[in-house]
Structure 1
Amino acid sequence: MRFAVDTGGTFTDLVVEDDAGELHMFKASTTPQDPIRGVIDSLQAAADGFGTSLADLLGRGSMLIHGTTHAINAIITGNTARTAFLTTAGHPDVLVLREGGRTEPFNYTVAYPEPYIPRSLTWEVPERLLSDGKVYAALDEDAVRASLKEMAGQGVEAIAVCLIWSIVNPAHELRVGELIEEALPGIPYTLSHRLNPSLREYRRASSAALDASLKPLMGAYMRNLTGRLKEAGFSGRTLVVTSQAGVIDADHAAEAPIHLINSGPSLAPVAGRYFARVDEKADTAVIADTGGTTYDVSLVRKGSIPWTRETWIGTPYRGHMTGFPSVDVKSIGAGGGSIAWVDEGGLLHVGPQSAGAMPGPVCYGRGGEKPTLTDASLVLGYIDPGFFLGGTMKLETEKARAAIDRDVAAPLGMSVEEAAAAIVEVATENMVQAINDITVAQGIDPAEGTLIGGGGAAGLNSVLIARRLGCPSLVIPEVGAGLSAAGALMSDLSNQYAKAKFAHTGAFDTDGVNAVLADLAAQAKAFIDGPGKGSIEQHITYVAEARYPHQVWEIEVPLRKDRFEGEADIRALVADFHAQHEEIFAISDPDAEVEVIGWTAVVRCKIRPQEGGSLKHDEAAVALPDTHDREVFFPDTGKVKAKVRRFDDLKPGESVAGPAIIESSFTTVVVNPGATAVRRPSGSLSIDPFH
């Protein structure tokens, strides 16, 4: 038995794979003050569903995979360790100056952003290496010891080290690490060349700073998670979702917590890729995961999940760059709990503020006072107040109506239903723009792909989103309400190893590059023999970070082999780069040579025999009436009678024409007038938005 838990801003999703390979889905409220409590609560809900004790359920488990927002939340709220920054003398402002760029280049009223680690906690190290690795100025160890003594006096809890050209020669950084262990034993530290051997100084420094600042917190969180699970009866393997759409062991995650910054949203595209392929035979898809707090958008492009190194925490140029590759995810404050409000000019907004898990939307009856997208959907008749979360949570419609009337309808001079419909329309537009940012802005036409709707609130307006984008098909997976958790079960144990090594294809250093690739291969194979031992399949892929000469930015080009044996292999790399550049930018220069600045090995170990799985339903819930009518409101038609069907009672191949509501214990799918839904053999709903 395997467990996959995804902690969201409002709900904690759990997908359980039993010994027969069938999937079971459960939800519990997220507990922000103690996220692990929400994990335990979701497992308790599963134990209740299986009719057994929590200890018995956990005792049958071999693996638990956890996706968490704990790391990103700590950075955003400033709840990280007091961290020092050690850098080469003369370069104390690398975190201040960043890489330049402004989101509003002519708005000079915006204050310059503060560095992630303040200058008051920055120490300069007398040393200097040249770009070829030669020592220009020796490391002054006495000065380092003096700096460490000052740090101890200032209550430093973690240390980030980033020295110039340590990616070419790490000797000075390694020695600084030894000095830290001698002077401040027990204080966690991060050496930039080990964590992120990238060419750009700011990105390497920023990733080291972020990683070090998270080590005390995430180390404690991982120990707490594994400890409390063990106390509750779990003796299996605890894995954590990474930003790269893979999983790693919890103790490994504690050593490099920067891997967890985008832990939550990264696995939705893994599940989305599977359902796009199985249900629509599509290799291009937009994955839209609608949670209670955020709307996360990602892509599947020609069967692969795009990565990016341009990951910012906060607003680009004003926030902090992770400098670390992660799944390309666009997140906005638009979810079921997003608050609707009218500004002084009479314009309606939805989000980015969220009611969160506590107190939640007004209809939850937990003290929330501001109307949300969930409240609007309830008022429109989309959600059954007696069947929310399978009837385990009763919603209060009149409280939702009163809040919408007070905060939206009255200020805008609308009826309550018109105001609720306007809330849905504004939220839809926000979501469409988020999708455009990650598709049209990258040369992808969303009308050529399938829209995959995930998250508990996905079905409320996904038909409207698909229509705005021109998508020919929309898929709502049966496990869509826990899409990221389902993706966790489908994911591989993975890691990546990188090394900087400049190479020009016109004068290629074959021996030097092959030595780098051999070193990366050895590290990848050690991972297979270590954490990956016992896995079903293992794969190692190699990637070059390449560019045209004098270009500023690189693209990633997969290598055909694990070493270069002759001129033909070099020409193959050049040809693949031109093709990749043409694909991304619609332009290439076939006569040009190529520069490579770094090499990466990605290792993946398959730990689950099958990719998908059928959802097992609660027999008590299935016993409820299958078909009935409910009055719902659509802007174009007003109030109409809509057929209400149970998601799990639809037979494969059976179709339902809108207006209709298809609901399960975890989600509600609105099939607008003019759209048609068909149940697929996988259990998914495939919706034609236009017919």
Structure 2
Amino acid sequence: MKRVGIDIGGTFTDLVWFDDASQQVGKAKTLSTKDPLDGLAAAIAAAELDPADIGLFLHATTIVTNLVLERKGAVVGLISTRGFRDLLEIGSGLKPNPYDVQWSPVEPLVPRWLRLEVGERTLATGEILAAPDRDEIAAVLDDLVAQGCDAVAICLLNAYANPENELLVEAVARERHPRLRVSRSSEIDPRMREYARASTTVVNAYALPAFSSYAERLRDGLGLDTEVRFMQSSGGVVGVDEAAKAPVNLVYSGPAGGVLGARRLGRAAGVPHLITLDVGGTSSDVCVIRDEEAGDRDELELEFGVPIRTQTLDISAIGAGGGSIAHVDAGGALAVGPESARSTPGPASYGLGGTRPTVTDANLVLGLLREDSLLGRSGIRLDRSKAIAALEPLAAHFGLSVIETAHGVYRTVNANMAQAIREITVFQGIDPREHALVAFGGCGPQHAVEVARDVGMRDVIVPWMPSVFSALGLLGASLAKSESRTLLVPLDEDGLASAAAVLEELEARASASLQDDPVVEEIVITKVAYLRYVGQSHELPVPLTTLDAEAIRTAFEDAHEHRYSTRLGDPVELVDLRVTAIGVVAEPPPPVWTGGRADPAPVAMAETADGPTPVFDRDDLAAGVVLVGPALIEEADSTTFVPTDAEAVIDEHANIRITLP
């Protein structure tokens, strides 16, 4: 069986395939296209794959993210309980900067005239005080459809405690308007807190028509007769039907594959503490891995004011990639990103029509990339003269040379990446110096050492096939299905008796779709309880390995002390439960590198800020080879920079291990 991992980014579409029988691996990298299916087809053709030979197709995508950020999703109507029409605009009442009196909130994904109400009331206990009237529901739905709605989000008060009223609204919608896409909060996010639940349901409805259409076209458009699975933000994959029902769970689909790949790399290399730095064409994504496990969280914001409550790896993203555009900001300073040249028109040096200076252009001017580098193997020819021309207006503005300006761009984007790492480490009480930096993506290896130096890290790892590492990480992804529910009971014997019954139900629902899957070797169940002291507003997640009240209380108070430096000893209540069923899939083995030469010779010389710099072909470097900087290590779709004071070693798994003094 051939497994194929596909990662579609804003600039490139990456493909990696693995043959279980022959243990062979191959890859392809093509420019992303307006219609993602065209980019997928081009990548499959470039990899010389026959779709009929693909046994498992694993897909990471930024489609959902882009729909929200670019405001290109569906026309959505929101049906709420009477009196709660303005929930999305009222929100949490917070601002990103409490002292900014000029700040304006983002426009809700659903405008006010498409937010309609029905009379109903469910109590927090789950008791139905008033059911909605079918005629009123029908009138509201007819109004929304008449105004052009493609999808509807249903979010009624306290529906997490009893979904009966929401189910009635959904039933009327499906009877009366069968083509209308419906998202129901009690299915998408059945937990308390109306604002987060409504926002999550609306985002799901907003992405539902476009993503469902894409998922339906995918198999036919590529001629696939195989299992297609989508990567979720949580790091687990799901089938097409599940993904098409809840695309909100795919918001961080793209970066998750790289984190999975880094976690496997750490296990193979014996490095349990890692920080990932995934620098693509459009963005940089960072994540902390401790003791071989990546952190996770239950809520994210693609932009302030659009909270999304979904299980996700704790990934932080900034607009800093190879295609990020350098410009003068409103204060007259040099800035890089978040705007990107993407694949069209691309960096100026690509010669595809781009004229504005990007990080890639700056790196080319600095000698970190070469015009006649091995990138030519991937079909991209760089033009240094076009990069210089793009940087000249910026240089003239600051009264600097082009080289000095390129250095400014390089240092600025490195500082942005370093700050992103500090925010997920130092700001959270984690010492980055205890970790190795795993750098991948097409641009990551060019910036990794300087970023590591900036945050005090000494060890950098550039993995095998760094430019397509996220797609490679997909190949060993396990299936995962999570189910959650609000319980809100005291942490005592009676409360845990209620929790036990709910856990049993959630486990059955989460594992049902994995039972007969042919690639699943075993099903592993994980359980998490969300607890708080009585009277608190927010809860903390605690792994649930027992139903002993005192053991759970101790675990919660340990977590509370770690987070807030206090343990109160007050009564504790159990707020939410989450059960995740993981369908474990056999992972491809780590590469064992037997190629290259023990005494490689440079293939060229480059001029960098460190002076004359030998250039090596990565395929020429045997395991055990030591390179003392400065050096450039080139491969078909990436270049690694080793500065003067660093040393690089090739390990047995084909990783480049760089050590700083």
The one-letter code of the counterpart of 1:154 is: Q
- The 3 A distance-change label for structure 1 pair 20 and 257 is same
Mapped to 2, the partners of 1:611 and 1:260 lie a distance apart of: 27
The one-letter code of the counterpart of 1:548 is: Y
The one-letter code of the counterpart of 1:191 is: R
Partner in structure 2 of residue 23 of structure 1? 25
Q: Percent identity?
A: 32
2:215 alignment partner, SS class: helix
Checking the alignment, whether the CA contact within 8 Å between 1:14 and 1:26 is kept in structure 2 is yes
More off after superposition, 605-614 vs 572-581: 605-614
Mapped to 2, the partners of 1:166 and 1:445 lie a distance apart of: 42
More off after superposition, 498-507 vs 477-486: 498-507
Partner in structure 2 of residue 78 of structure 1? 71
Q: How far 1:498 moved relative to its partner?
A: 0.9
The one-letter code of the counterpart of 2:11 is: T
Does residue 140 in structure 1 map to residue 133 in structure 2? Answer: yes
2:170 alignment partner, SS class: helix
2:248 alignment partner, SS class: helix
More off after superposition, 346-355 vs 671-680: 346-355
Checking the alignment, whether the CA contact within 8 Å between 2:511 and 2:523 is kept in structure 1 is no
- The 3 A distance-change label for structure 1 pair 614 and 38 is farther
Partner in structure 2 of residue 677 of structure 1? 648
Does residue 581 in structure 1 map to residue 568 in structure 2? Answer: no
- Per-residue CA deviations over 1:79-115 (Å, capped at 9, x if unaligned) read 1111110111111111111112111222222223322
Counterparts in 2 of 1:134-283, with a 5 A limit?
134-230=127-223, 234-279=224-269, 281-283=270-272
Checking the alignment, whether the CA contact within 8 Å between 1:342 and 1:407 is kept in structure 2 is no
1:161 alignment partner, SS class: strand
Mapped to 2, the partners of 1:510 and 1:437 lie a distance apart of: 37
Counterparts in 2 of 1:454-533, with a 5 A limit?
454-506=440-492, 508-530=494-516, 532-533=517-518
Mapped to 2, the partners of 1:257 and 1:363 lie a distance apart of: 36
Which residue of the other structure, out of 391, 397, 406, is the alignment partner of 1:420?
Answer: 406
Does residue 686 in structure 1 map to residue 657 in structure 2? Answer: yes
Checking the alignment, whether the CA contact within 8 Å between 2:79 and 2:117 is kept in structure 1 is yes
Which residue of the other structure, out of 576, 597, 603, is the alignment partner of 2:581?
Answer: 603
- Per-residue CA deviations over 1:136-170 (Å, capped at 9, x if unaligned) read 22322221122122223212211101111111111
Q: How far 1:667 moved relative to its partner?
A: 0.9
Does residue 401 in structure 1 map to residue 391 in structure 2? Answer: no
1:179 alignment partner, SS class: helix
1:461 alignment partner, SS class: helix
Does residue 114 in structure 1 map to residue 107 in structure 2? Answer: yes
- Per-residue CA deviations over 1:227-249 (Å, capped at 9, x if unaligned) read 1122xxx3221111111111111
The one-letter code of the counterpart of 2:149 is: V
Q: How far 1:511 moved relative to its partner?
A: 2.4
Partner in structure 2 of residue 300 of structure 1? 289
Does residue 40 in structure 1 map to residue 61 in structure 2? Answer: no
The one-letter code of the counterpart of 1:242 is: Q
- Per-residue CA deviations over 1:512-569 (Å, capped at 9, x if unaligned) read 1111011012112312225x344112211111111222222222111114xx3xxxx1
Q: How far 1:467 moved relative to its partner?
A: 0.5
Mapped to 1, the partners of 2:184 and 2:526 lie a distance apart of: 25
Partner in structure 2 of residue 642 of structure 1? 613
2:47 alignment partner, SS class: helix
Q: How far 1:614 moved relative to its partner?
A: 5.3
Checking the alignment, whether the CA contact within 8 Å between 1:159 and 1:188 is kept in structure 2 is yes
Partner in structure 2 of residue 665 of structure 1? 636
Checking the alignment, whether the CA contact within 8 Å between 1:22 and 1:616 is kept in structure 2 is no
Mapped to 1, the partners of 2:349 and 2:376 lie a distance apart of: 13
Q: How far 1:572 moved relative to its partner?
A: 1.4
- The 3 A distance-change label for structure 1 pair 288 and 592 is same
Does residue 537 in structure 1 map to residue 515 in structure 2? Answer: no
1:423 alignment partner, SS class: helix
Q: Provide TM-score, normalisation by structure 2.
A: 0.96
Q: How far 1:611 moved relative to its partner?
A: 5.1
Q: How far 1:393 moved relative to its partner?
A: 2.1
Mapped to 1, the partners of 2:102 and 2:330 lie a distance apart of: 22
1:388 alignment partner, SS class: helix
- Per-residue CA deviations over 1:164-200 (Å, capped at 9, x if unaligned) read 1111111111111111112111211011011111111
The number of residue pairs the alignment matches comes to 656
The one-letter code of the counterpart of 2:569 is: D
Partner in structure 2 of residue 571 of structure 1? 550
- Per-residue CA deviations over 1:199-246 (Å, capped at 9, x if unaligned) read 11111111111111211111100111111122xxx3221111111111
Mapped to 2, the partners of 1:302 and 1:593 lie a distance apart of: 32
Q: How far 1:616 moved relative to its partner?
A: 10
Counterparts in 2 of 1:308-323, with a 5 A limit?
308-314=297-303, 316-317=304-305, 320-323=306-309
2:514 alignment partner, SS class: helix
Mapped to 2, the partners of 1:483 and 1:74 lie a distance apart of: 25
The one-letter code of the counterpart of 2:246 is: A
Q: How far 1:626 moved relative to its partner?
A: 4.9
Checking the alignment, whether the CA contact within 8 Å between 2:378 and 2:637 is kept in structure 1 is no
Q: How far 1:425 moved relative to its partner?
A: 0.7
The one-letter code of the counterpart of 1:121 is: L
The one-letter code of the counterpart of 2:262 is: G
1:330 alignment partner, SS class: strand
Which residue of the other structure, out of 349, 353, 357, is the alignment partner of 1:371?
Answer: 357
Q: How far 1:506 moved relative to its partner?
A: 4.3
Partner in structure 2 of residue 547 of structure 1? 532
Mapped to 1, the partners of 2:594 and 2:232 lie a distance apart of: 28
Q: How far 1:334 moved relative to its partner?
A: 0.6
Mapped to 2, the partners of 1:197 and 1:165 lie a distance apart of: 9
Mapped to 2, the partners of 1:149 and 1:413 lie a distance apart of: 62
2:54 alignment partner, SS class: coil
Does residue 631 in structure 1 map to residue 597 in structure 2? Answer: no
Mapped to 1, the partners of 2:54 and 2:586 lie a distance apart of: 14
- The 3 A distance-change label for structure 1 pair 586 and 553 is closer
Q: How far 1:483 moved relative to its partner?
A: 2.0
- The 3 A distance-change label for structure 1 pair 266 and 131 is same
Partner in structure 1 of residue 15 of structure 2? 14
